[in-house]
Structure formats: structure tokens, C-alpha cells
Amino acid sequence: MSGLDPADVFRQEAHEILETLEGALLDLAQRPEDRDLVDSAFRALHTIKGSGAMFGFEAVASFTHEFETAFDLVRNGEIRPTHHLISVALSAKDHIRALIETPETTEAIIGDAILDDLRQLVVIDKCEAAAPSTTEATSANAGRRLGWRLQIEFDSHILRNGSNPLDLLDDLRDLGSCFVTALTDAVPLLDDLEPESCFLSWDVTLYSECDEAAIDGVFMFVRDEMKLVLEPILASGEAEQILAPTEQDIVPAPSKAEREQPAQALKRGGSRRADERGIATVRVQAERLDELMDRVGELVIAQARLSQLASLTDDLSIKIIAEEIERLAASLRDTTMGARMVPIESLFGRFRRLVHDLSRDLGKPVEFVTAGEDTELDKTMIECLADPLVHLIRNAIDHGIEETSVRASAGKTELGRIELTAVHSGAQVLVTIRDNGAGLNTARIRAKAEEAGLVAAGAALSDHDIHQLLFSPGFSTAQTVSALSGRGVGMDVVKRTIEDMRGTIELSSAPGQGTTVTLHLPLTLAIIEGLLIRVGEGRYIIPLSAVEECVELTSADEKTRGRNFLNMRGNLVPFLRLRELFHADGEPDRHQKVIITSSGDTRVGLVADQIIGSHQTVIKSMSKLHSDVTMFSGATILGDGTAALILDVPQLIAIGQGRSENQRVSEAA
């Protein structure tokens, strides 16, 4: 087994630190007076800078040093964490991530532009903060020279004479805090470029008490080979200062021994750290957890076969061993599944930046609130859930939250609100996205659906049925196509993805009050508790989380072949005869059973010949050849080595709804 690459370890650690930094910056935009948030952001920057230099990421260390210096001023109370400063800081964080993950494709000019914006904000803020409070101070300060603005242009042949403009600019920096901007307007195309000629010029802002003679001294030997324009920077009642790095902030380049020492420590012990509670954690590759889960699944199948064989023998010792193996396998299964569980906080944190950026781009002030971040889901579920939530949150802000003027005319607060919550509900997790916008425009949705030919004009549809049209492929109510919406791609993808995860999606809305989308998700995609049933000679698995109750099909219900409804305590529930659906051979059992399943608010009964019992189901994916078989979501191996198909309950419910609707239409005709 090969050792860990120190650079890869740094990238993993940096990813977590940058997530912490982004969270601190977003919180700071809401609570600019919170000193703990400022300290948290500064610590994250300092760690990235030091670790980057240690592992050879010099560009990261250099860029982060400038970023850190600005936040040192925020920490010292010299400048304020304004919304503009936070936006630039978030862009700087994104650039640091790019320098770490894809340094070969990251342009340095992007970082220079971000740093220029950062420096200008710092200068402006410090000038405002240092503004004198009295007229006398203003008058006394007015006219004082704070520094110089320089326009520098060298003759094109200066490089041939052995002079280096960069050395001269470094000498200029020795005079004081200095901001240098390269002007590239005169740089020709590559075919016309002469490598030995200088085509650059520079604009320089120098904050220093030096006189003009000191600046002339820097260019003493090239004064005849350049154009130099000097303009003093005068104070107009405001004390202008500049951001300058201090000596102690500069991180020296590490020696070879210093670089090798942490690398060897990582190879020996892996990446180990302790959280706030003092619990040691070890970083493990995701692929190893997946492989472990596969092995546990095979063990569960082998244990089921052993239990079945033990039930056929009278040897007590074999039965005892089988029971012990079953207990250990169940414990190992639960432990392994627990190791794969990840707090949904790791997913929720990503959307804070999304809401922040969309709120800024659309000009809609939006408050983002989360709850239930400690709710745990399988890591595979977390990965699959990211894209659907992005679509839903974008839709909530773009379509749901009204413009500020519209909200004001409706008597609402200027601030829109997006709530993202997660909660355990039995063997499921409910993820809810709620906004306080205008709600769904039912009439508009129907009009668009009729225009697209999805429904017949004048057809009797409930509001729930009309809202479900939003999940149709290509459907959109947007007036124009924008970067966010209008192409009809999104909600159908959301529904398909959630159903692929064996989940369901609910949609509810109240005019003028907002829209709520609730996702019902299983805890894991690897091993589930299922109900094993028999239909004819075949055996099938129904996910236990979708089962409400089991009843016997009465003789009265059996005789009404043309009307497949059960009377469940006063409520009519449609049912499907699985024998007919699966074309099972032979005669049905005399006493058939009905398994009442639910998906959201919809209930459908599934008629089977026999209910065998509960079964720990290791889910195996269907092959690509069976991708068009929508009634099954997967397969599993039973204790006797035979395969059993896992029923896709939402698809069966959709079939049941369609049949009951057709039956109502035929009866009405």
C-alpha cells in the first residue's frame, strides 16, 4: 500500500478550512460586530497560508498573505467588515480554492484583480474611519501630502541596456506602502512581440512621507530612458492610510527538512485530529467505506443462507452458531452503516453561498435559515441530494421570492426568507425547502400546461394535480430565458433523482404565503428493511418504510373484479393485483393479502398471494438492459441463493392512480 501524498493531505485539510472560512464570512455579513467570526476567519487564513508554504503551494501562501493582512485590520478594528468587503473576500476564497485544486489552469491576473479590489476597499474604509470629528481637525489636516501617484513608462529598449524595471519597482516599495498596477494596452499580438523589448507601463500609488528627490533617486540611472509623471496625494480633511504587511506576517519558505518532517508523520499516522469534544477521528477514503459496505452486504446474504440451513436441521449447536452469526452480522451492519452516515450540515453549508450570490445577483434581500443540521444521512444520499436542492433553492429565490417593491405593496417585509430543514421520521429523513414568497400561480401553470398540450382545455383538475405538472419534462412558467431559468430543465430532474433514491417529493403552496417542498428520503441506499412477499411462484421485496399496514382481501372485494377499491375505515383506497401486473401463472391463493403502501398523501394497496415476513435487503442495482423496467428499483439475493426484485412503490402508486382515474372516467361516461 503506497503512502499518503502530503499534497493530497493538504488539499483535503484545506477543503475543510475553506468551508469554515466561507461559513465565517457569510455569518460575518449578517453579524459584522461578532469578534469570534472575525477571529475564526483570520485563523483559517493563517492556517491556509502557513500550511500552503509548508507543502510547496507558494502561490497560495503569497495570495493568502495579502488576504490575511486585510483581515488583520478587521481584527484590529481599523476597518469594518462591510458587505462589499465580504463579497470580495468570498471571491478571494474561491481563488484560493482554485490555486489549490487546479493551479495549472488558474490565471494569476484573476488574483491580482481581486487583491486590487481588496486594497482599494481597505484604503477607502480606513480613510472613512480616520475622518476627523471636528472642523478644526479637518482644516488642520487639509492640504497635507500623504503620498504620490506615479505614471511610469520605460523606453522599449531598457531591457537591452541591462536594466530590470521590476527591481526598480521593488526599490520604490522600500519607500512606503505601494500599490502597483501594470498597464498592458501597448503589448502587441504574439506574432509582433519582441522578447527583448518592454511594452508595459505602470500606475503606482505610493503612500509615504518621502519627498520627490527620494523618488528621483530610485530612477537615477534610467531617468533619461523613461517617462515619469508625479502627482502628490493631498489630504482633504481625511487621513488616508494604506494596507502594508508587517514583518512578522511574512512566512519564510520552509527548508527541505521542514517539508519532509510533517510528510513522514502523515505517512506513519494518517490524518488524525480531535474535534471540540475531544473525540479522535481518522480520515478514511470514501472508496474504502464503499468496499466495506459491499463486504458487509455479502456477509448479510451469507448469514441469511446460514440461518435458512440451520432452520432445516435439528442440531442445536448449529442453530446456536447461526443465531450468534446473525447477531454479529446485524451489529457489524449497523456499525458500518453508522460509519457511512454524515451530518447533513455538510450539505446545507454549501447553499449559504448559493443564496448569498443569488440574492446579490437578483437584487432580492433573502434570509437563509437552516435547522436539523445534525440529522445524519448516508454519504451516498448526501452526494445525490446536492443537485436537486440546488434546483429547488434557485427556483425558490428566482420564482418564489417577489421583487422588493412587490413585497412592499403586498404588505410583506422587504426581506425574503428561505428555510431549509431536515428531520428524522421513522426510517426516513424529511428535507423541507420553504419560502415566504408569492406561492404558486395555479392559473398560470394550468394555462402553460394547456398551451404545451399536457392537459386538455377545461379538464377537471385539482390544485394538487396542476402543481404536479411542474415536474413534467420541459415545463416552465418563466416569461423569458435567463441564466437561472426558462428552459424547462430542473423540476423534472429533481423528481427523477429523488425517485432514483427511492424517495418521494411533496409540493404544497398557499397564494401570497409561499411554497413548501418536502423530500421523503430513506436513510441509506445500501441495506434496507423490506417486506418479503410471494406472487405466484415469484418473490418480491417491498421497502418497509413505504408499508402502512397489511389486511386480508375479503371475498366481497375479491368478487368486484371491475372495481378495484378497498374501503379502509371510510376511505376508498385503490389496489393493484400484482398477479395481473406480473402475469403470474397458476391460480391465486385462497386468502390473498393486501399491503397498503403510501407515497406522500397517496395510498395504494398491492395484492399478493402471501406475506412471508421482514427481510434485511441488500440492494443490488439493475443492469442497463433493464433500465426501462420502471416497476422495480433493484434486486436482492435471498437466503436460498435466488434473486428477488425490489418493487418501486412510487411507480406502482402512479400506475394505480392512472387506473383509478381511467375507471372514474369510464364510469362517468
What lies within 8 Å, CB to CB, of 189 at 6+ separation is: none
Helices (H), 396-474: 404-409, 442-451, 463-468
pLDDT in tens, 141-160: 555 677 888 899 988 888 88
What CA–CA distance (Å, rounded) separates 420 from 432? 6
Work out whether strand 610-618 and strand 602-608 pair parallel, antiparallel, or are unpaired: unpaired
What lies within 8 Å, CB to CB, of 570 at 6+ separation is: none
pLDDT of residue 513: 87
What CA–CA distance (Å, rounded) separates 233 from 146? 5
pLDDT of residue 556: 66
Share of the chain above pLDDT 70, in %: 81
- Tell me 425's DSSP state: E
Confidence of residue 217 (pLDDT cuts 50, 70, 90): confident
What CA–CA distance (Å, rounded) separates 499 from 633? 9
CATH topology (fold) of 135-234:
Alpha-Beta Plaits (3.30.70)
Q: How many C-beta atoms lie closer than 10 Å to residue 366's C-beta?
A: 21
- Tell me 397's DSSP state: I
In the block, cell 402543481 appears at 467
Q: At how many degrees (to 10) do helices 345-362 and 379-395 cross?
A: 20
Q: Is the dihedral of CA 627, 603, 433, 429 positive or negative?
A: negative
In the block, cell 507601463 appears at 201
Q: What distance, in Å, lies between the first and last C-alpha atoms of the chain?
A: 72
The predicted model gives 544-551 an average pLDDT of: 86
Q: Is the dihedral of CA 217, 223, 226, 232 positive or negative?
A: positive
Q: Quote the cell numbers at residue 185.
A: 494596452
Enclosing H/E stretch for 370: strand 366-371
What CA–CA distance (Å, rounded) separates 95 from 405? 35
In the chain, ranges of CATH 2.30.30.40 domains = 527-668
- Tell me 620's DSSP state: B
What CA–CA distance (Å, rounded) separates 202 from 228? 10
Residue 264 has pLDDT above 50, yes or no: no
Among left, alpha and beta (phi > 0; psi -120 to 50; other), residue 539 is beta
Enclosing H/E stretch for 366: strand 366-371
Longest dimension (CA), the chain: 110
Confidence of residue 426 (pLDDT cuts 50, 70, 90): low
In the block, cell 426516513 appears at 428
In the chain, ranges of CATH 3.30.565.10 domains = 344-522
In the chain, ranges of CATH 1.10.287 domains = 288-342
CATH topology (fold) of 6-129:
Four Helix Bundle (Hemerythrin (Met), subunit A) (1.20.120)
Helix, strand, or coil (residue 584): coil
In the chain, ranges of CATH 1.20.120.160 domains = 6-129
- Tell me 627's DSSP state: T
Q: Quote the cell numbers at residue 472.
A: 413534467
CATH topology (fold) of 527-668:
SH3 type barrels. (2.30.30)
Average pLDDT over the chain reads 77
Q: Which segments within 157-298 are labelled E, that is strand?
A: 177-183, 201-207, 226-234, 272-274, 280-282
pLDDT of residue 260: 43
Q: For domain 344-522, give its CATH number from 3.30.565.10, 3.30.450.20, 3.40.120.10, 3.40.605.10.
A: 3.30.565.10
- Using CA atoms, how far residue 598 sits from 34, 129, 533, 573, 647, in Å, is 47, 62, 17, 10, 13
Helix (H) and strand (E) counts in the chain: 20, 23
Nearest by Cα to 490 from 505, 510, 512, 508:
505
pLDDT in tens, 177-207: 777 888 888 888 888 888 888 888 888 888 8
In the block, cell 527548508 appears at 255
Q: Quote the cell numbers at residue 147.
A: 503620498
Among left, alpha and beta (phi > 0; psi -120 to 50; other), residue 577 is beta
What CA–CA distance (Å, rounded) separates 322 from 310? 7
How many residues does this entry show for the chain? 669
pLDDT in tens, 574-607: 888 888 888 888 788 778 889 998 876 678 888 8
Q: Quote the cell numbers at residue 592.
A: 390473498
In the chain, ranges of CATH 3.30.70 domains = 135-234
Residue 608 has pLDDT above 80, yes or no: yes
> Please, are residues 492 and 387 in contact by the beta-carbon 8 Å criterion?
no
Helix, strand, or coil (residue 82): coil
The predicted model gives 231-248 an average pLDDT of: 51
Residue 480 has pLDDT above 60, yes or no: no
The class (CATH top level) of 288-342 is mainly alpha
Pairwise pLDDT comparison (166 vs 651), residue with the higher score: 166
